[in-house]
């Protein structure tokens, strides 16, 4: 449709501990500027001067502790102020975590054991749209502002706040998260599950969590600083049945010692030895239906190739079928029925690697490029990045793809997925 006529820039005077909530349209630019006082967006302070572009489709809150005047320029989907926020409780939680980090650092300096020198491993749980990712961002940015380098672990394969959906990933946060660029992507550690839903292969999801946890444990054992800073772990919004089981599994796998529960007090009895804190959801958290989430997933994939502001140009490339090997994790059967003893049922091996023939079914799907040297290392290896299949020519046996970087693929071992994105 035609773009609405842009309203003139407007200023909002925010009382202490209140926030301006803004929803940005998909294709109308919106920018914000601090005029007076101090304000932050999900834990990251607005710069004292200059306009900050707010990424399309984002839903943000500009919060002030001590009062501020801010100015908006551009069309928004909605904008309103509120003084009912859970921010004081959130920042108190941050203060408790900060004290634990300080204690861990002292223990490390005094040569304490691994347990004493381990900072908080916080896991944030709750249903979708309870503000989990947002709380993670605030806790990370507040910690980074004080000089800590906490590790962000994202187990939410449905949305993916570090990289594309379908991944289990981690990255150190060394400075408050950039309002425009988001989570820094210099050194994420990414394991590829390949689906937005854990029920497709829950065992593979568990194995990948274990691999990520193992790698982080190794990094922490050689780095007292990141060990003391600890982890902030974001989880899926699925909190019932298998989702609940996977949450318990995640707590054990990452040795989480603080659970922050949004909305729901469910883990108290299940994990009596862990601190479980119930936190309220902000009324500002925007509800997104499953269709919206599906679209967001698709945009996240597009962003990986084209940039958040659509400012990157991916590179198109062609490989022969024989230049690459594509594998799928699990789903195959260990042995054909004919090879089994009479009466035995074939068992699906969830983490077995199955070679996949390249077919036109792969068009529009994402493939991960594995760091594995051999196929049997794929499940235990992290991935270098992703390609998006744009064409498959069966006759000439050629696959066309786009990648964020030019040049040859860093590896010939690729992992298939059910993640798709269609160029409009």
The 225-254 site mask, x for binding ligand ADP (CB under 6 A), equals ------------x-----------------
Regarding 295 and contact with ligand ADP (CB under 6 A), the answer is no
Residues numbered 306 to 335 that lie near ligand ADP (CB under 6 A) are none
User: Which of 32, 54, 119, 129 touches ligand ADP by CB under 6 A?
Assistant: 129
Residues binding ligand ADP: number (CB under 6 A): 16
Could you give the CA distance from residue 243 to residue 253 in angstroms, rounded to a whole number? 15
Q: Are 363 and 390 in contact (CB under 8 A)?
A: yes
Regarding 18 and contact with ligand ADP (CB under 6 A), the answer is no
Nearer Cβ to ligand ADP (286/354)? 286
Regarding 131 and contact with ligand ADP (CB under 6 A), the answer is yes
Which of these ranges, 56-64, 324-332, 389-397, 408-416, lies near ligand ADP under the rule CB under 6 A?
56-64
Regarding 303 and contact with ligand ADP (CB under 6 A), the answer is no
Nearer Cβ to ligand ADP (33/132)? 132
Tokens of 128: 């979708």
Regarding 261 and contact with ligand ADP (CB under 6 A), the answer is no
Regarding 285 and contact with ligand ADP (CB under 6 A), the answer is yes
Nearer Cβ to ligand ADP (118/133)? 133
Q: To 10 degrees, what angle do helices 87-109 and 132-145 make?
A: 50
The CA angle 421-351-162, to the nearest 5 degrees, is 40
Regarding 43 and contact with ligand ADP (CB under 6 A), the answer is no
Regarding 278 and contact with ligand ADP (CB under 6 A), the answer is no
Closest alpha carbon to 135 in 48, 227, 43, 216: 43
**What are the helix and strand counts (H, E) for the chain?**
6, 23
The CA angle 59-151-168, to the nearest 5 degrees, is 75
Q: Are 236 and 258 in contact (CB under 8 A)?
A: no
Could you give the CA distance from residue 326 to residue 356 in angstroms, rounded to a whole number? 5
Could you give the CA distance from residue 240 to residue 247 in angstroms, rounded to a whole number? 9
User: Residues in the site for ligand ADP, rule: CB under 6 A?
Assistant: 21, 59-61, 128-134, 237, 282, 284-286
């Amino acid at each position: 449709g035609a773009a609405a006529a842009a309203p003139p820039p407007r200023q909002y005077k925010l009382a202490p501990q209140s926030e301006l909530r803004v929803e940005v349209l998909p294709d109308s630019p919106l920018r914000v500027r601090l005029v007076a006082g101090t304000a932050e967006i999900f834990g990251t302070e607005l710069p004292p001067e200059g306009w900050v572009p707010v990424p399309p489709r984002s839903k943000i809150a500009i919060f002030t502790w001590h009062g501020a005047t801010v100015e908006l320029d551009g069309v928004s989907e909605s904008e309103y102020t509120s003084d009912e926020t859970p921010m004081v409780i959130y920042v108190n939680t941050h203060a408790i975590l900060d004290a634990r980090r300080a204690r861990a650092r002292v223990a490390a300096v005094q040569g304490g054991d691994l347990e004493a020198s381990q900072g908080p491993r916080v896991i944030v749980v709750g249903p979708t749209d309870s503000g989990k990712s947002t709380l993670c961002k605030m806790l990370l940015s507040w910690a980074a502002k004080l000089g800590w380098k906490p590790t962000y672990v994202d187990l939410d394969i449905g949305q993916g706040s570090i990289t594309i959906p379908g991944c289990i990933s981690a990255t150190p946060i060394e400075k408050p998260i950039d309002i425009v660029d988001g989570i820094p992507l210099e050194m994420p550690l990414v394991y590829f599950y390949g689906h937005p839903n854990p029920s497709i292969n829950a065992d593979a999801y568990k194995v990948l969590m274990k691999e990520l946890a193992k790698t982080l444990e190794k990094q922490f054992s050689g780095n007292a600083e990141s060990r003391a800073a600890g982890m902030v772990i974001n989880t899926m919004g699925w909190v019932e049945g298998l989702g609940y089981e996977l949450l318990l599994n995640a707590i054990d796998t990452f040795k989480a010692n603080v659970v922050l529960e949004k909305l729901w007090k469910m883990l108290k009895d299940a994990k009596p030895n862990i601190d479980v804190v119930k936190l309220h959801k902000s009324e500002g958290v925007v509800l997104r239906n499953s269709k919206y989430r599906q679209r967001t997933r698709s945009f996240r994939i597009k962003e990986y190739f084209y940039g958040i502001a659509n400012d990157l140009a991916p590179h198109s490339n062609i490989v022969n079928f024989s230049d690459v090997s594509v594998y799928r994790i699990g789903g195959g059967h260990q042995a054909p029925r004919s090879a089994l003893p009479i009466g035995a049922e074939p068992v699906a091996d969830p983490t077995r690697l199955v070679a996949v023939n390249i077919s036109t079914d792969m068009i529009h799907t994402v493939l991960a490029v594995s760091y594995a040297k051999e196929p049997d290392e794929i499940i235990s290896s992290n991935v270098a990045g992703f390609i998006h299949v744009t064409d498959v020519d069966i006759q000439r046996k050629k696959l066309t793809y786009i990648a964020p970087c030019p040049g040859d693929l860093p590896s010939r071992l690729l992992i298939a997925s059910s993640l798709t994105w269609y160029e409009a």
